Amino acid sequence: MSNKGPYLLDDASDAPFPPAELALREPDGLLAVGGDLSPVRLLNAYAGGVFPWFSEGQPLLWWSPDPRMVFRTDGVHLSSRFRRELRASPWRIRADTAFSDVMRACAQAPRPGQDGTWITDDMHRAYVALHQLGYAHSVEVFDGEALVGGIYGVAIGRMFFGESMFSGRSGGSKVALAALAHTLHDWGWPLIDTQVENPHLMRMGAEHLPRPDFLRRIRELVQQPADVGAWTGRFGELSAAFLAETTTT
């Protein structure tokens, strides 16, 4: 790839991505264009530190920004005030029981300064296919039968690549993220990728990793053994009140 534009991907779904180190500086992290959203292409992308991000009507664009924003799984913070509220909350948290619903809620969630969504119908179909294969997962927050928050992303080895989250009620996404981090930490997974800088995530403890450090870490983590398949049974069910006692301020 030259420094004048992104790499044009081969039509073959299993064709390798260029090294993420070749991503452009402007726009930050743009690496490649084209290809498809097949499971093999998506898994190769994430394993190499690359993710798709494009709007309706654009070609497929693939990114690896520098620096990368991540959470340590023992580093998600909830404020003292919010934790006090959660102690009396009836909310329950489960995994992989409403993946498609979480994606649709994320697509419909308003984003300040953003017109529309990158979670197109094609993206929805692609990640549902990954979910059915056991690589894409959702963590869902329920109040009774009502879905009030959630997060979804892709798991390879012992690395979780977060894609999006939403709040149907105030704090729903925070609870989903805290539950995901708590569980992954218990499983020995050290990091959650959150892609690009976001002030809300920074307040919850997200950190910057220079791209070389991020790539070095994930290339080790995606090779580590981990079960592939639905997380519903393994994750179990957590309460918001439990998270209030186990999550740091």
Mean pLDDT of 61-69: 97
Strands of the 191-195 sheet, one edge to the other:
207-209, 68-72, 191-195, 159-167, 146-156, 136-143, 92-95, 238-239
Token pair for residue 90? Answer: 């009836």
pLDDT tens, position by position, 97-130: 999 999 999 999 875 555 446 789 999 999 999 9
Nearest to 50 by CA among 69, 67, 36, 31: 31
pLDDT at position 165 over 90: yes
Label residue 134 left, alpha or beta by phi (over 0 means left) and psi (-120 to 50 means alpha): left
pLDDT class of 167 with cuts at 50, 70, 90? very high
Cis peptide before 190 (omega within 30 of 0): no
Mean pLDDT of 130-135: 98
Q: Residue 56: what pLDDT?
A: 78
Mean pLDDT of 47-56: 92
pLDDT at position 1 over 70: no
pLDDT tens, position by position, 197-217: 888 899 999 999 999 999 999
Q: Residue 170: what pLDDT?
A: 95
Q: Residue 249: what pLDDT?
A: 67
Q: Which residues of 169-208 are buried (b: 16+ CB within 10 A; e: fewer)?
A: eebbbbbbbbbbbbbbbeeebbbbbbbeeeeebeebbbee
Instruction: Give CA–CA dist 235/59, Å, rounded.
Output: 36
pLDDT at position 133 over 70: yes
Q: Which helix (H) or strand (E) holds 136?
A: strand 136-143
CA 99 to chain centre: 13
